[in-house]
Amino acid sequence: NAYNLDPKPPDFLQSLRYHAPSYCRQIIGGGSAAVGRSPLCPPWGRALSTREIDTLMAYLEALDRAGAPPPPVGQASAGGVSP
């Protein structure tokens, strides 16, 4: 659903390159409002355990290392979630 948001949300893989892992974990756990950004990114801290968040971070970092391009805007990624 990112394609219909204004302003467009940032690419999380880009954020990994510029922010500390703790900052990205805070966004996953508390949503983007937890770091003073838009409240549109929901918090996952109650749905995901610390271990699951760590696994998600490792997955995102692996995508970044692999240089995987993001899916085209408006199309679902392999995980079924639109960017």
* pLDDT for 77 beyond 50: no
* pLDDT for 40 beyond 60: yes
Cα(63)–Cα(34) distance, integer angstroms: 24
Q: What are phi and psi of 31, to 5 degrees?
A: 80, 165
* pLDDT for 79 beyond 50: no
* Non-local CB neighbours of 60 within 8 Å, separated by 6+ positions: 12, 13, 16, 24
Cα(18)–Cα(10) distance, integer angstroms: 12
What pTM was estimated for this model as a whole?
0.66
Q: What is the pLDDT of residue 49?
A: 96
pLDDT in tens, 5-35: 776 766 777 777 788 889 889 989 999 889 8
Output b/e per residue, 13-27; b: 16+ Cβ within 10 A.
bebbeeeeeeebbbb
**Structural tokens at position 3:** 């394609």
